Amino acid sequence: MTVAAAEDPVKLAEFEARLERGETIEPKDWMPEKYRKQLVRMMSQHAHSEVVGMLPEGNWITRAPSLRRKMVLLAKVQDEGGHGLYIYCGTETLGVGREELIEQLLTGKAKYSSIFNYPTLTWADIGVIGWLVDGAAIVNQTMLAKTSYGPYARAMIRICKEENFHKRQGYEICTVMAKGTPAQRAMVQDAVNRWWWPSLMMFGPSDATSPNSAELMRWRVKRETNDALRQRFVNLTIPQAQAIGLSVPDPDLRYNAETENWEFGPIDWSEFQAVIAGNGPCNRERMAARRKAHADGAWVREAAEVHAEKQAARAREHAA
What residues make contact with ligand FAQ under the rule CB under 6 A? Answer: 41-42, 45-46, 49-50, 53, 80, 111, 113-114, 129, 133-134, 137, 140, 201-205, 210-213, 216, 226, 276
- Tell me the closest approach of the beta carbon of residue 276 to ligand FAQ, in angstroms: 4
- Tell me the closest approach of the beta carbon of residue 308 to ligand FAQ, in angstroms: 30
- Tell me the closest approach of the beta carbon of residue 94 to ligand FAQ, in angstroms: 15
> Cα(first)–Cα(last) distance of the chain, in Å?
55
- Tell me the closest approach of the beta carbon of residue 291 to ligand FAQ, in angstroms: 19
> What number of CA atoms fall less than 13 Å from residue 287's CA on the CB side?
21
SS3 label, residue 120: coil
- The CA angle 204-208-213, to the nearest 5 degrees, is 55
- Tell me the CA distances in angstroms from 131 to 108, 169, 195, 202, 246, one per residue in order: 29, 8, 10, 14, 12
Closer residue to ligand FAQ in complex, CB, 41/185: 41
- Tell me the closest approach of the beta carbon of residue 97 to ligand FAQ, in angstroms: 19
- Tell me the closest approach of the beta carbon of residue 303 to ligand FAQ, in angstroms: 28
- Tell me the closest approach of the beta carbon of residue 143 to ligand FAQ, in angstroms: 8
Closer residue to ligand FAQ in complex, CB, 95/211: 211
Closer residue to ligand FAQ in complex, CB, 7/224: 224
State the DSSP code for 207: G
- Tell me the CA distances in angstroms from 207 to 8, 211, 227, one per residue in order: 30, 8, 6
- Tell me the closest approach of the beta carbon of residue 221 to ligand FAQ, in angstroms: 8
Closer residue to ligand FAQ in complex, CB, 124/129: 129
HEC letters along 22-83: CCCECCCCCCCHHHHHHHHHHHHHHHHHHHHCHHHHHCCHHHCCCHHHHHHHHHHHHHHHHH
Q: Do residues 187 and 111 lie in contact, with contact meaning Cβ atoms separated by under 8 Å? A: no
The rounded radius of gyration (Å) of the Cα atoms in the chain is 21
Round to whole Å and give the CA distance between 250 and 248. 6
Q: Do residues 143 and 223 lie in contact, with contact meaning Cβ atoms separated by under 8 Å? A: yes
Closer residue to ligand FAQ in complex, CB, 212/235: 212
Round to whole Å and give the CA distance between 44 and 90. 9
Q: For the chain, what's the residue count?
A: 320
Closer residue to ligand FAQ in complex, CB, 53/187: 53
User: Which residue, 188, 186, 135, is CA-closest to 163?
Assistant: 135
Closer residue to ligand FAQ in complex, CB, 185/228: 228
Closer residue to ligand FAQ in complex, CB, 62/256: 62
- Tell me the closest approach of the beta carbon of residue 177 to ligand FAQ, in angstroms: 19
Closer residue to ligand FAQ in complex, CB, 161/314: 161
Q: Do residues 226 and 205 lie in contact, with contact meaning Cβ atoms separated by under 8 Å? A: yes
